[in-house]
Each structure stands twice: as structure tokens, then as C-alpha cells.
Amino acid sequence: MAEKISDNYDAIIIGCGIAGSLVGAILTSKEHKKVLVLERSPKIGGRAISFRGEGIREMSDFQKALGLSANAWCYAERCEPALSKIINSGLLDGYVLEAGGRAGWYTNRGRVSYALAAFNKPSIFYPSVGFVWFDHQWKPHNVTRGVKYGWMSEEGFAEMRKISKHMLQTPTLADAEQYDKVPLKDWLQKMTSNKEALEFHYAMGTFHTILNDPALISAGENLKAVIISREMGVHVTHGAWSLAGDPGHRFIAEGFAAVVTDNGGQITTNARVKEISVQNGKVTGVIAEIGNETKKIKAPVVVCTAPPKQALQLLPKKVLRSDFEGVLERTINAGGITGQFGLTKPLEAFCKIEVDPRSFYHTPILIPESEGFRGNVPLDGFTLSNIAPTVAPEGKYLAVWVSSVLEEETRDKKKVDRVIDRMLEFLDVAFPGWRKVVEWKLFTISGTALCWRHPKDNKPDVICPSVEGLYFAGDAYGERANEGGIEAASHSGLLCAGAITGKSYLDMVPPLFQ
Ligand SMILES: Cc1cc2nc3c(=O)[nH]c(=O)nc-3n(C[C@H](O)[C@H](O)[C@H](O)COP(=O)(O)OP(=O)(O)OC[C@H]3O[C@@H](n4cnc5c(N)ncnc54)[C@H](O)[C@@H]3O)c2cc1C
């Protein structure tokens, strides 16, 4: 990675997360281009970074990698024992930690896995099995397919089913697309006023987006995720969530990055792009800080994979069309507050009902919206090591709990503390006695986990409309890309490589995902 930087490339890619590494893999291996990937963090992976516990040796290195790669940080004051003690006494050894709570979709049958397979790289996802809903009193209910849900009235269940049926009968993704600019809240409220049915379907919308306020979720995007789930045969009770085994989600970018370097591409870490150079409406390269040096590097093609609000900081003023700039500015950054806990017994040992050990746990109202949050704050969790056994050492268990919040809420210390306090209160009620088996608690906060277009906007395209040679890739980009997170990042990578080369790379994934 300390290879000498030349001053001229066919393409420079800013960022070595999923999208950047995938574009790099295609341009090097299929198009034989001379490619340079510049990554500001000391590690590759971007927001999908993960860590082996024994690899975390210095608190400052851990915080630096979390911050630069994933826009996340570890809330050291709330960790127990103190973060320095957790690290120095080797308590994390043998565990695999993510930057925060993660649960993707479609296990090994999503875009990510198909794209990796196209380069002969494996996927390491495991499906969740079982879904437990904790009602407003935090009493658990197993969800069984086709059987009335324990916390719902007959009427609420019938209304909820009516809406599910309507969603599932949407024939194609194109049919769903007409609701792309309709907020999920409006779409659902036209169908019912039943509170239980609304609460359930709002929760499903939040599962897809980690946005708590259904007014911020696109009904069309939600329907598309339902259609794809239908086609994949996954359900909340089986396979709806996929969890990565060892070494965690970084296997995705690492897989693509290996293709880049195997095909002569260059990946340089600790290399921050300060500015994208533009002259007469054409991109000419970048200015980057690499080590202690500032370098001008030329290329006729630049791919920016920084999330939209960060991407705006890299561009000279007035080079973007104002409508495009507006869409980037209005991107909604959804974040999360996560507790990762090392246990000597799994969570199900403390649950008041018998549950599948691989269950996904959910409660819709950890904190009500009336306390000043945007939407009710939910809480989701699982014993990750029961689902993906390679993420904890023999005889130990890794439990993960996450509440989604907006980026601005992650910057409010009172709100973050409130979520953590309430998370611990919930665990005491829902899993009484669990504290006796806790060896360590580690909290991470991520400001920008998933990026979403505002439901009234189009997704910004991968081709910059006003600067020739400038492209974007990442979970927030790609007019024709649907869904979010790692699936969207890989979808946009395929779209971007196609836009640069004039070829279609979407056929690397099945038609359903195109
Ligand atoms: C805690 C957390 C939980 C998540 N949970 C899920 C989940 O459950 N399911 C799911 O599907 N998705 C989840 N996501 C989102 C998912 O990880 C992202 O959508 C995906 O990884 C985005 O990939 P990307 O390539 O688009 O962008 P990124 O991963 O953000 O890649 C951009 C890269 O650019 C680099 N960069 C930025 N600016 C510069 C610069 N100036 N110079 C050089 N490099 C730069 C960054 O360091 C980064 O490596 C989660 C994210 C986080 C943080």
C-alpha cells in the first residue's frame, strides 16, 4: 500500500468502501484501466468496516478508523469496564466487532454476494431465524407466520394483513416505482387508521431504512423491498436479516479490493482527497494529502464515493447544477446507537418465553417521539454469535442492540445518553438477570450509517450532470438503484462502472436486482 503514486491514471476512485472497491474491481479486471483508489482511513471497508477484537490495540487507532471509515465513534465513557481496560485486558480477543449494529438483507443471494461471486470471492452471511416482538410493556411475543400476533387485537391483525397482502400483490418493481415520491406515512394512512396495523408497517419501513419517521421513508422504496423479499422467499420470521461471520462486513470491500490489486490497480490508505480538480467543465484529477505531502494527481475520470454531504465539500464552488446540489444537500443521514455486549450466556437464556436462539428481537417504542426525537425510537437486537457463530470465542456470546436515530440526534449527548439508559432499562425488563453474564459493554455511535434521498427527490445519478468525467457511486447514488445500505452501494457500483464504460455491468446480478 506504500506503492509510489504516479501523477497520471485512467481513473481515480475516492474511497475504498463497497462502492469504490467494486468500481475499481470492474475497471481493472474487465477494462484493464490504470486505477488509483485513495482512501482517507488507515483501513479499507468504509462504513462497512469491521474489526477483529485482538486487532484493536490502541484506543486512538480504533477511534480513528471508526471515525474516518464509518463516520462513527466509540462512546468510551459509557463502555464498561473502561474502554482502555476492555482493550488492554484482551476482553475483545476472539470477537468480531462491527462499527455498529448491522443486519443486511437476502443473506448470500443479494447483489453484494452475486457481485463478489462474479470475481470468485465468497460471501459470509448467515440468516436470522425467529422474530420476537416486545410490546409496549416490553413483554415478548414470538411471531409465527399466519397466526394472530400476540400483542395485536383481531381487528389490528386483520388490518395489518390486509395491507401486507396489498403490498405483496404489487406485481413488479416498476409498479412500485410510481410511489417513489410518496412518503410511507401518507401511503399507509390512506389504507388504514388502525394504530396497530400502522405501527407494524411503520416498523417494517424502519427495518428497510433505519429511518424512524415514516414521513421520511419512500413508499415506493418500501414496496420494492417487499417485492424483492417476496421473490427471495424471505420473511421476518426466516432469513429477513443477514449477519456477517468472521471477519465481519469488511470481507465485502476486502474481496473487491483484492481484485483491484491483483489486476494492477493501486489502493492507497491514509490518503485524503482535499479537492476534486475541475477545469472548463471537465474533471482533471484530484488534490490529495498523502502522508505529509499534498499531491496533484491527474485523471480524466474521477469517481467520488464519499456520502453526498461530504462529497459537496470536495468540489469547487459552482461546478454543480443547483438542482443536483440541492438533492445532495437534502440527503438524509440515518445513524444508530449501538451496544455490543460480550456475554458468558446467550440472551435467550433470560427471555421470558422460549425463542429460537437465532431470533431477531424488536420493540417499536424504546423512546416515544414525544420526548423530542424524530419518530418513535425503536430497539432491535440479537445474539449475533448464535446466528454467525464465528464472531465470538468458544463459550462466549456476542449480543448486539441498536436504536436508529438521525445524524443530528447522534450529536446531542443528552439524546444519546437517553437512548443508552433506556436500552439498558429495556434489557433489564426483557431479559431479567442478563447483567450477571456481561463481561464487557461497548457503545458505538454512527452518524452516517445509511444515506437516503428525501422522499420528494430523485436519487442523484451516478453521472455528474455538469462536470464531464465526474461520477458518483455509493449507497446514496444511482437514479435507478433501489434499496439502501450495502445492497445500494453495490448496485450503484455496477451502475457507475456501466456509465463510465458505456457497457452494462448490471448483468453481474440477477434481473430482479437490475
Ligand atoms: C454502524 C453502521 C451500521 C450499518 N448497518 C447496515 C445494515 O445493517 N445493512 C446495510 O445494508 N447497511 C448498513 N450500513 C450501511 C452500509 O455500511 C453502507 O451503506 C455501505 O457500506 C456504504 O458503502 P459505500 O461504498 O457507498 O460508502 P462508504 O462505505 O462510506 O465508502 C466511502 C469511502 O470513502 C472514503 N472517503 C470519504 N471521503 C474521502 C476523502 N476525502 N478522501 C479519501 N477517501 C474518502 C471513506 O473513508 C470511505 O471508506 C451500516 C453502516 C454503519 C456505519
Q: Which tens digit of pLDDT belongs to each residue from 62-87?
A: 999 999 999 999 999 999 999 999 99
- Tens of pLDDT, residue by residue over 394-408, are 999 999 999 999 999
User: What average pLDDT does the structure give for the chain?
Assistant: 96
Evaluate if residue 351 carries a pLDDT over 80. Answer: yes
Ligand 1 probe mutation, 107, 450, 492, most atoms within 8 A of CB: 450
Ligand 1 probe mutation, 229, 241, 475, most atoms within 8 A of CB: 475
What is the structure's pLDDT at 166? 95
Angle at 97 between CA 95 and CA 100, to 5 degrees: 155
Does CATH number 1.20.1640 belong to domain 64-103+124-145+235-246+332-452?
A: no
CB-based burial, 467-493: b 16+ in 10 Å, e otherwise: bebbbbbbbbbbeebbbbbbbbbbbbb
What DSSP letter does each residue of 287-333 carry, written as one string?
EEEETTEEEEEE-SEEEE-S-HHHHHHHSPTT-S-HHHHHHHHT-EE
pLDDT class for 107, splitting at 50, 70, 90?
confident
Evaluate if residue 291 carries a pLDDT over 70. Answer: yes
Least confident of 98-107, 204-213, 246-255, 365-374: 98-107
CB-based burial, 42-58: b 16+ in 10 Å, e otherwise: ebbbbbbbbbbbebbee
C-alpha 195 to ligand 1 mean position (Å): 35
User: Which of 236, 32, 217 has the alpha carbon at shortest distance from 132?
Assistant: 236
Which of these CATH numbers, 3.10.150.10, 3.40.640.10, 2.10.70.10, 3.50.50.60, describes 11-49+249-330+455-513?
Answer: 3.50.50.60
User: From the CB of residue 442, how many other CB atoms can be counted at a distance below 10 Å?
Assistant: 25
Evaluate if residue 431 carries a pLDDT over 70. Answer: yes
Ligand 1 probe mutation, 47, 328, 513, most atoms within 8 A of CB: 47
User: Which of 474, 259, 163 has the alpha carbon at shortest distance from 152?
Assistant: 163
Evaluate if residue 295 carries a pLDDT over 80. Answer: yes
C-alpha 503 to ligand 1 mean position (Å): 26
What is the structure's pLDDT at 54? 96
Evaluate if residue 321 carries a pLDDT over 70. Answer: yes
Please give the order of strands across the beta sheet that includes 72-74.
72-74, 438-452, 332-343, 397-406, 377-383, 360-367, 131-134, 140-142
- Pairing assessment for the beta strands 271-279 and 282-290 based on DSSP bridges: antiparallel
Q: Is 341 left (phi over 0), alpha (psi -120 to 50) or beta?
A: beta
For residue 28, the number of C-alpha atoms closer than 13 Å in the C-beta half-sphere is 26
Average of per-residue pLDDT across 441-456? 96
Kind and range of the H or E element at 59? helix 59-70
Distance CA 39, CA 231 (A): 36
Distance CA 59, CA 442 (A): 12
Distant-in-sequence, close-in-space partners of 187: CB < 8 Å, separation ≥ 6? 179, 219
- Tens of pLDDT, residue by residue over 450-505, are 999 999 999 999 999 999 999 999 999 998 667 899 999 999 999 999 999 999 99
Are the CB atoms for 398 and 392 separated by under 8 Å?
yes
- Tens of pLDDT, residue by residue over 173-201, are 999 999 999 999 999 999 999 999 999 99
Distance CA 266, CA 365 (A): 47
Kind and range of the H or E element at 166? helix 154-168
| Ligand 1 environment, Cβ below 6 A | 14-20, 38-41, 46-48, 68-70, 72, 99-100, 102-104, 272-273, 305-307, 310, 314, 336, 446, 449-450, 474-475, 485-487, 489
What is the structure's pLDDT at 481? 66
Average of per-residue pLDDT across 381-392? 97
* Topology (CATH) of 150-234: Guanine Nucleotide Dissociation Inhibitor; domain 1 (1.10.405)
Evaluate if residue 1 carries a pLDDT over 50. Answer: no
C-alpha 69 to ligand 1 mean position (Å): 7
Q: What is the pTM of this model?
A: 0.97
Give the number of the atom of ligand 1 that is nearest the alpha carbon of residue 241.
Answer: 8
Q: What is the largest CA-CA distance in the chain?
A: 68
What DSSP letter does each residue of 172-236 carry, written as one string?
-HHHHHTTTTSBHHHHHHHH---HHHHHHHHHHHHHHH--S-GGGSBHHHHHHHHHHHHHHT-BT
Evaluate if residue 146 carries a pLDDT over 80. Answer: yes
C-alpha 317 to ligand 1 mean position (Å): 25
User: From the CB of residue 60, how many other CB atoms can be counted at a distance below 10 Å?
Assistant: 7
Domain residue extents for the chain = 11-49+249-330+455-513, 64-103+124-145+235-246+332-452, 150-234
Amino acid at 27: L
C-alpha 185 to ligand 1 mean position (Å): 27
What is the structure's pLDDT at 17? 98
Give the number of the atom of ligand 1 that is nearest the alpha carbon of residue 45.
Answer: 49
pLDDT class for 2, splitting at 50, 70, 90?
low
- Tens of pLDDT, residue by residue over 30-64, are 999 999 999 999 999 999 999 999 999 999 999 99
The number of helices, as runs of H, and strands, as runs of E, in the chain is 16, 20
Distance CA 427, CA 424 (A): 5
Residue 72 β-bridge partners: 446
Q: Which residue owns the Cα nearest ligand 1 atom 48?
A: 46
